[in-house]
Structure 1
Amino acid sequence: MADTKDRRQPGPELRALLYTDFDGNPADPDDVIADALDDGGYLERTPGLTAILQDPAADPAARLLACCALTSWADPLGYDTVLRAAADPDDVVWRGQSADRFFSQDDTFGQLADAVGASRDMVDERGTAGLRIAAARALISLAGRVQYDRHISSLLSREIVEAAQGEIDATVGRGITRLASGEHIPYDLGLQLALLTVAMKTYDEPGANDAMIRLAAAHPGERALRELADATGSSLWSL
C-alpha cells in the first residue's frame, strides 16, 4: 500500500478496520488486507469499509484505502468504484492522496492496479471474475494518461492480457504518440509503455516488435530501454 498511511493518522473507524489485526493488535493495512483472506475475516470488515467508501464526507485517503481493501477481496463494490474512477480519472476524490517515492507523483491508480491484480485468487469464490477483467481493462486504458510505474505489471497476468488486447494496443499507440510529441511528462510513461509492449509479445509478436521499435525511437528513457533489452535478450536497445 502507498503513502496514504504516512500522510495523517487514520480515524477511529479506519483504525479498527485496517490498522488492527484480528487479534486486536496494531498492524499495517497491507497485512490486515492479506490476513483477512485466510479465514474469511474480510466478511466482518466489509460492512465498515463499505460505509467509509460510500461516505462522501469521509477522508479521501480513507476512502482510497477502503476501495483498495474491498477490491483486493474481489468485492463488487470495489470493482465498480475502480470502473467509475477510471471513467473520470481527473475528478476522483482521492487523487493526490498517495504519492510514489520515486517521482513524488500521484500513484493512486497504481494502488488500484495492485488491488485488482491481488484479487485474482478470490474471484471464483465471490463470482466476480468478469468484474475484475472489466476493471483491469479500464485501468489499462488509462496507462497513457496516469502514473502506474511498475504497478502496471499487476494488470498483466495471462488472463487479463488475453482479454485486454485491444486496450493494450490502443494504449501503447496513444502513449508512443504522446512521448514522441516532446510533451513534458512528470512520470516514467516510457517504462509503462515498455511493460505493455512486452505483454503484447504473448499474442502479437510482430506487432510488439514494431511497437518496441517505435517506442525506442520516441526516447522513452533508460528504464524503458532496459525493459526492452531484458525482454528481447538484445543490448541494442540501450545503444
Structure 2
Amino acid sequence: MADTTDRWQPSPQLRALLYTDFDGNPADPDDVIADALDDDGYLERTPGLTEILQDENADPAGRLLACCALTSWADPLGYDTVIHAATHPDDVAWRGQSADRFFSQDDTFGLLADAVGSSADTVSERGTADRRVEAARALIALADRFQFDRHISSLLTRELVEACQDEIRSVVEGGITHLASGVHIPFDLGLQLALLTVAMKKFDEERANDAMLRLAAARPGERALRELADATGSSLWTM
C-alpha cells in the first residue's frame, strides 16, 4: 500500500481497521484487505473506513488507504472516489502520500489502479460492475500524463480492455505525441504506452501495430522496447 516515510503512523482508528487482523493481531494492510473478503469480513470494517475516507480533515495517507481498501472490496463509495480523483487529479488531497522506488514520483494513481483491478471477484456480489468499469476508464484516461508504471496492467484485463477501448486509443495517441515532443517526462511513460499498445492488439490489431512502430520511433526507453519484443516475439524492437 502507501509507501510512506518511517515517521508516518496510522491513526488509532485506522490501525484497528487495516493494521489489525480479524484475530486481533498486528497485520499488514494488504493482508487485512485480502482476508476481509473471507466470510464477508469487509462488512465489519467498511463503516469505519467510510468515515475516514469522507473526513476531509483526516490524514491524507489514511484516506488513501481507506479508499484502496473500499475499492478493493468493490464498494460504490470507493469507486466513486476513484472516479472523482481521476477526473480532478490536481485536487486530490492524498497526492504525494506514496512514491515509487525508481523515480520517486507520486504513485497514488497506480495504487488506485491495483485496487480497481483486484476488485473483479467481488463486483457481481455487490452489484457494482458498472462503477468498476467507470473507475477503470477514468484512470486509463490519465495514463499519458500521470505515473502508473506497471500498475496500469491491473486495468488491462480482457473485460476492462473491451470496455475501455476508446480511452486506450486516445491515451496511446496522446502519449506518443507527448513522448515524441522531447519534453522531459519524470516517469516511464514509454513503458505505460507499451503496455497499453499491447492491450490494444486485443481489439484493434492494425492500429496497435502502427502505434507500436510510432512508439518505438519516439525512443520510449529500454523497458518499453522489451515489452514490445515480448509481446510480438521479435527481438528487432531492442536492436
TM-score (ref. length: structure 1): 0.99
Maintained 8 Å contact 1:144/1:189: yes
How far apart in 2 are the matches of 1:97 and 1:107? 8
Alignment deviations for residues 141-179 of structure 1 (CA, whole Å, 9 cap, x no partner): 000011000000000001100010000000000000000
How far apart in 1 are the matches of 2:164 and 2:134? 9
Paired residues, what number? 239
Residue in structure 1 matched with residue 71 of structure 2 by the alignment:
71
Between 3-12 and 214-223, the greater mean CA deviation after superposition: 3-12
Maintained 8 Å contact 1:110/1:147: yes
Maintained 8 Å contact 1:2/1:100: no
**Runs of 4+ displaced beyond 6 Å:** none
Secondary structure of residue in 2 paired with 1:39: helix
Residue in structure 1 matched with residue 130 of structure 2 by the alignment:
130
How far apart in 1 are the matches of 2:181 and 2:104? 23
How far apart in 1 are the matches of 2:86 and 2:129? 18
Show structure 2 runs of 5+ residues with no match.
none
1:33-44, aligned counterparts within 5 Å?
33-44=33-44
How far apart in 1 are the matches of 2:6 and 2:147? 20
Maintained 8 Å contact 2:2/2:65: no
Aligned residues with identical type, % of pairs: 80
Maintained 8 Å contact 1:191/1:221: yes
Alignment deviations for residues 30-82 of structure 1 (CA, whole Å, 9 cap, x no partner): 00000000111100100000000000100000000000000000000000000
Q: CA RMSD in A?
A: 0.8
How far apart in 1 are the matches of 2:145 and 2:12? 35
Residue 28 of structure 1 deviates from its aligned partner by 0.2
Residue in structure 2 matched with residue 53 of structure 1 by the alignment:
53
Residue 5 of structure 1 deviates from its aligned partner by 7.3
1:63-212, aligned counterparts within 5 Å?
63-212=63-212
Distance 1:145 1:129, change over 3 A: same
Residue 90 of structure 1 deviates from its aligned partner by 1.0
> What amino acid does structure 1 have at the position aligned with 2:131?
L
Distance 1:26 1:79, change over 3 A: same
> What amino acid does structure 1 have at the position aligned with 2:206?
P
Show structure 1 runs of 5+ residues with no match.
none
Secondary structure of residue in 1 paired with 2:145: coil
> What amino acid does structure 1 have at the position aligned with 2:230?
D
How far apart in 2 are the matches of 1:154 and 1:112? 10
How far apart in 2 are the matches of 1:74 and 1:188? 29
Residue 2 of structure 1 deviates from its aligned partner by 3.1
How far apart in 2 are the matches of 1:5 and 1:132? 30
